[in-house]
Structure formats: C-alpha cells, structure tokens
Amino acid sequence: MSETEFQPTERSTIHRLPSRGIYDKAKVYEVLDQGILAHVGFATKNGPVVIPMGYARRADSVILHGSAKSRLLTYLSQGADVCITVTLVDGLVLARSTFHHSMNYRSVVVFGHSQVITEPSEKDAALEHLVEHLVPGRGADARGADEGELAATLVVEVPISDASLKMRTGPPVDETRDLEIDIWAGVLPLRLETGELIADEHTPADKPVPGYLLDYPAGRS
C-alpha cells in the first residue's frame, strides 16, 4: 500500500464500470469518516454472515466493538478475515426508461484481518474514538469506560489491507431514442437529516444543549 493509494488487488479491483472505481486513500477515508454504519462480513462454519455495526476509522484501521458475549466480537477477537462495507446513498436517479434507473452513491469496501485490543488504556482510547466518530465532541464530554465496562467489552481493530471506493454521481444516462419521451427525468437527492433533540427524563429542562449536537452535520448514514 502506498502512502496515498490502495494497491488494487485481485479481490478489490472494480471490474464492472471500472471508471467508477477509486483507490485514493483520502477519498476512501472521506467516505469512511462520513458514514456511521458498516456491514461487516465474515465466514462462519455455517456459511457467510453480514452484520450491521457502528464503526470508526482510526489511521489505517477500522475499529469495531461489542459485548464480550457477542458471537461476532468473540469471532473477530480471535483474528479473522473480514470485509467491511460502508454505503452513503446520495440520490435516486430517475431515467426515462426503467432500465436506466439508478442510484447516486459512494460506497467503500475494505478488507483486512482483525486483531483484538486488550490493553485497557488502548481499549478505552479506541472506545472514545468510536464515540467521537459517531458524535464529534462527545468523546471528551462523556465518562470513559471503567474497569468492569472495559472487561465486558471486546474491541477489535481491522488494519485495512486493501480497499476501493465506487461512486456514481450526476443525472440519468438515457438512450437517445428515449429523450423525446414526455416524462420527468433527473435526480431525487436523498440524505439522512437530524431530527429534533429529545432530552431524557434525567436531563434538567434548562440544561443547555451542547454545540456539537446543535451543529451535528446532516448527510451521515
């Protein structure tokens, strides 16, 4: 892996519409840093499984966490080949023919071999990084995990060995013969929006809302 590019490998080379493939590290990381939900795929004795999870990128790794009782985390903590996918859907592409309907998206697929983080201060730092990724500003605000909580949590990191970004942008691509059809065509942009904050019953009514929540960016998904 070079400093700026992932080397396309047999498993990470995009064959279908290769012009939509990007291996630039900064661009791959931009998508990983905007997303909050990953789909984590791995092989089990009963066949492949893909599980939705929160995650965070840290340097050239992806951090995952879960209960020490979790089947998934127990498996990953033993060291396993994993494939992690993060998808940002940007819009529905409405063409004049059903055939040319599409989606605008940015999606990243990364591969790596998981390794467990056992040292308590490293675990705590990784968990704080996870919270900080999900809600920038929250990591420094919330109480860190105590000894018992750390013991009840498995944290793994997956150093990224190969990765690709595939994206589609722009309007529909219609057949010339369809351009005269009397139908609206274009893009319906989609993005996840934040809703109104809901304080819990223990939060005093006059407690100011942290700025990092008021400023939480739309478009993460």
Ligand X SMILES: Cc1cc2nc3c(=O)[nH]c(=O)nc-3n(C[C@H](O)[C@H](O)[C@H](O)COP(=O)(O)OP(=O)(O)OC[C@H]3O[C@@H](n4cnc5c(N)ncnc54)[C@H](O)[C@@H]3O)c2cc1C
In this structure, what DSSP letter does residue 95 have? -
Neighbours of 55 (CB within 10 A): 23
Cα gap 16→115, rounded to integer Å: 32
Reduced to 3 states (helix: H, G, I; strand: E, B; else coil), residue 117 is strand
Burial class (CB in 10 A: 0-12, 13-18, 19+), 170: exposed
- Please state the closest distance from residue 187 (CB atom) to ligand X, in A: 26
Helices (H), the chain: 25-34, 71-77, 120-134, 138-141, 147-151, 211-214
Site stretch for ligand X (CB under 6 A), options 12-20, 69-77, 111-119, 183-191 = 69-77
Residue 17, Ramachandran bin (φ over 0: left; ψ between -120 and 50: alpha; else beta): left
Site for ligand X contains 71 (CB under 6 A)? yes
Q: How far is CA 16 from CA 13, 19, 26, 32, 69, in A?
A: 9, 9, 22, 22, 40
Does the protein bind ligand X through residue 51 (CB under 6 A)? yes
**Least Cβ distance, residue 74 to ligand X (angstroms):** 7
State in angstroms the smallest separation of the CB of 53 from ligand X: 4
User: Does 70 engage in binding with ligand X (CB under 6 A)?
Assistant: yes
Q: Stretches 51-59, 115-123, 159-167, 172-180: which one binds ligand X (CB under 6 A)?
A: 51-59
Tokens found for residue 120: 């308590």
Residue 54 binds to ligand X (criterion: CB under 6 A): yes
Quick check: 66 binds ligand X (CB under 6 A)? Answer: yes
116 lines the binding site for ligand X (CB under 6 A): no
* Residue of 48, 52, 148, 204 interacting with ligand X (CB under 6 A): 52
Is residue 85 a contact point for ligand X (CB under 6 A)? no
Residue 172 in contact with ligand X, rule: CB under 6 A: no
What is the amino acid identity at position 80? A
The reply on whether position 145 binds ligand X by CB under 6 A is no
Is 221 among the residues that bind ligand X (CB under 6 A)? Answer: no
Q: Is 144 in the site for ligand X (CB under 6 A)?
A: no
Question: Min. distance of Cβ 183 from ligand X in angstroms?
Answer: 36
Angle, CA of 140, 192 and 218, to the nearest 5°? 50
Least distance to ligand X, CB of residue 36, Å: 8
